[in-house]
Amino acid sequence: MSYGAICLTALLFIASSAVYASTPQRIISLSPHATELAFAAGLGDKLIAVSDYSDYPPAAQKLEKIANYKGINVDRIVALQPDLIITWPEGNPVREINKLKQMGFHLYASHVQTLADISKNLIDLSQFATNPSIGQQAAKTFNSQLKALKQRYSHQTPVRYFYQLSQKPIITVAQDNWPSEVFSFCGGKNVFGDSPSPYPQVGIEQVVLAQPDVIFTSEHAMTDGSMWQEWKNEIPAVGHHRVWSLHSDWLNRPTPRTLRAIKEVCQYFAQARENLTRK
């Protein structure tokens, strides 16, 4: 049995070992990535409300919105009486999550920090579905495609990169925080990887000193990288036209569509390596 099959079997065993009195029929998601994972796991027909920006798949856009970056509408959740709430510990306010817990609501915490966590979440959520095989198959497909991408892009020469998550202020991502693993998977070396803050705020001068060979921007922050043009003589990535905008939802939301982000990032790194080799 392959390593991937062993991991999947173990995850299936863990998921099936949990015992619930009944399968949830009314589910609420409190983040866009959790909404997308819920649909992928076969829970779309049970979702009654979601967070703002839950726009994929398109069916999610029709659902009531009860949470955003400012907080959670606890009173509305009480009125809706869900029997499962999918939370996002890294993004939802702790106080409001604790309040829901104290009220006795059944919560599933969607922790996603690594690529492996995506398939784990799919399997965990599949136990709440009428047909668990949907989520289990989604996890299997994800792992299989991830393995194929690893075989294609592993053992590549490291490329120094800077990922710009936002423009005002300039925020980036340190190592071991989502989505840094996507870049690492493709052979990227984060110029701010050692930052003590998970999502550090940096200045242009710090980026100049870091000398990245590639700059990636979030399309939600900027689309053309024009703010960097005046630094083309100081930053290698800018001077050699290696400032690229990435599809934000693929990259920033840990879901099966992360595979698309991996392909996009790996292809850009491959292009950068060709440029660096010709220098």
Q: What is the pLDDT of residue 221?
A: 65
Q: What is the pLDDT of residue 24?
A: 96
pLDDT at 41 over 80: yes
| Cα–Cα dist 88/67, whole Å | 11
Residues of the chain with CATH 3.40.50.1980: 3-150, 155-278
In CATH terms, 3-150 corresponds, of 1.10.10.10, 3.40.718.10, 3.40.50.1980, 3.40.50.1820, to 3.40.50.1980
- Our CA angle for 16, 81, 62, nearest 5°, is 90
In CATH terms, 155-278 corresponds, of 3.40.50.1980, 3.40.50.970, 3.40.50.1820, 3.10.20.30, to 3.40.50.1980
Residue 53 annotated in ligand binding = yes
Q: What is the pLDDT of residue 59?
A: 98
Give 170-197 pLDDT, tens digit per residue.
Answer: 999 999 899 999 999 999 999 999 999 9
Give 7-20 pLDDT, tens digit per residue.
Answer: 444 443 344 334 34
**Checking phi first, is residue 164 left (phi over 0); if not, alpha (psi -120 to 50) or beta?**
beta
pLDDT at 279 over 90: no
pTM to 2 decimals?
0.88
| Cα–Cα dist 213/188, whole Å | 10
